Amino acid sequence: MSKLMKLLLIILALCGTTYPAGAYTEYDLLIMEPATRAERETIAKLRESCRHDRADAPVEALLALVRLEEVLGVDKWRPGLLAGVWCVEAAWRGAPSGKMEGQVWGDLRNGIPQAWGPYQLWPVHRKACSGTQAAPHDLIWAARCWVARVEDVRRKALARCPARDSWGVAEAAVSNHRKYRWNCKSRSKHWKVAEGVDDAS
């Protein structure tokens, strides 16, 4: 992604810009430029590392997430994480393009789905991110919400763990704090998928 496009996306995010009907969305802007060689390699590594990968994986949407990581700074603490969450939670379903479009629901309680969208956001996350009913089904909104939740929880992780481990611990806590229990060595399944990009260059 060019520096100019990255700057534009950051400015739009800071302004809290909404997009009128028919205008380019943030997703459109993220995929506007062709993928670089490094981005294609990263996507290939993510697909190899995702055990839920499928032949019709939405490569365009994966490119959007790789670029969104640059905009949000996720690439500084765990490149590939946004795609890793999507892989584990929804197996690349709920993409904003092609045949795989649609809503993803999960974790039924008395017949009511608790987890919504490609990131399978639970009510606590949806409420914290203040989205509309449809927002959790939007890949980019869900990814932004996930990052915001990890950033919020990181303060608690930093109080318990060394700085180098705090991002992984915070992300694991957002994933499932009961399962990972704030252990400084905990890493979620999402994180493990993202580790597949480490040797991509």
pLDDT tens per residue, range 54-89: 888 899 999 999 999 999 999 999 999 999 999 999
- Predicted TM-score (pTM) of this structure: 0.86
What is the separation, in whole angstroms, between the first and last Cα of the chain?
15
Q: Do residues 167 and 183 touch, judged by C-beta distance below 8 A?
A: no
Q: What is the pLDDT of residues 113-139, one digit of tens each?
A: 899 999 999 999 999 999 888 899 999
The Cα–Cα gap between 149 and 43 comes to 24
pLDDT in tens, 34-53: 999 999 999 999 999 999 99
d(CA 144, CA 108): 24
The span from the CA of 86 to the CA of 10, in Å, is 22
If you classify domain 3-197 with CATH, what class do you get?
mainly alpha
Segment 151-196, tens digit of pLDDT: 999 999 999 999 889 999 999 999 998 898 889 998 999 999 999 9
Q: Where do the domains of the chain lie?
A: 3-197
